[in-house]
Amino acid sequence: MRTKPTLSWTPKGEPLPRTTELHEVVRVVAEGDVVVLSGAGLSTESGIPDYRGTEGSLRRHSPMTYQEFVTSEEGRRRYWARSHLGWRLIARARPNAGHRAVSALRASGFVSGVITQNVDGLHQSAGTGEVIELHGSLDRVVCLDCRQFSDRELLDRRLRAANPGFTADATQVNPDGDVDLPDDVVREFRLVSCDACGSGVLKPDVVFFGENVPPVRVGECYRMVDEARALLVLGSSLTVMSGLRFVRHAAKSGKPVVIVNKGRTRGDAHAQVRVDLPLGQALTELAQRLA
């Protein structure tokens, strides 16, 4: 069963009071065994916009859905043409102060694991171990026919060979790894098939809107949350259920939930405290105070 894409939500009730003080965050994290759940807001300081913030990509960009990708060759052409350029911008992005602070907290033993909704690999680039990529990674490609996985760098070389001279101005990348391109540019783009089976449809190893997260991966996340003492949410509006369910699960289990995010989130009602600060600033201060 495929879920209907959730692109927005309507806040209900009184908002949870927000603070710019980190005292409660420091207290919770200082006790250790904290699982981090991170979203696109953590990567904005690396030049990758989020979906729903004030400069969020959903204001100008409709992300690819699973249904369109698997049923429409034109949809796949549009995605791969745009992603062919966008992936290079993602690949050049570097971890920011927030990613480095999470890595430091992990190395110091305060953070026991990280679940990320991001597909950019920046947690790992910052040196964080034991990261569960809830929505997959843009660095991998999977064939929908033979299920063979391959490296995105290999696909990039094949697409370059199939589209010599393909260039376009691409200065802004979306969180799902593509860029905006004119239709006439997209129409000229040539797709390639799976190199392993010769005819299969290639898809980035990411969970598109309307696609379910693999059950085994969901189970790993629940296990990580169950074994933790608290949940720290960083840079996520928690609009989609794939992340929100872990917040609800932690709160129902009586575990402290702390949210650091710019703007209101769908999980605020389950949080013990809501901090409204830039992620790089807040996490750097948190790591310094716990050092």
- Between CA 99 and CA 120 the distance in angstroms is 12
- Report the greatest alpha carbon distance in the chain: 57
- Between CA 69 and CA 98 the distance in angstroms is 33
Query: Bridge-partner residues for 218, per DSSP?
Result: none
CA-angle at 35, arms to 212 and 130, nearest 5°:
75
Q: DSSP strand E in the chain: where?
A: 18-19, 34-38, 111-116, 131-133, 136-143, 149-151, 202-206, 230-234, 257-260, 273-275
Catalytic residue among 84, 99, 135, 270: 135
Query: DSSP label at 198?
Result: S
Binding residues for NAD(+): 39-59, 117-120, 235-237, 261-263, 279
For residue 251, the SS3 value is: helix
Which has the closest alpha carbon to 258: 290, 282, 241, 280?
Answer: 282
Binding residues: 39-59, 117-120, 143, 146, 194, 197, 235-237, 261-263, 279
- Between CA 80 and CA 83 the distance in angstroms is 5
Residue 270 is among the residues annotated as catalytic for this protein: no
Residues with catalytic roles: 135
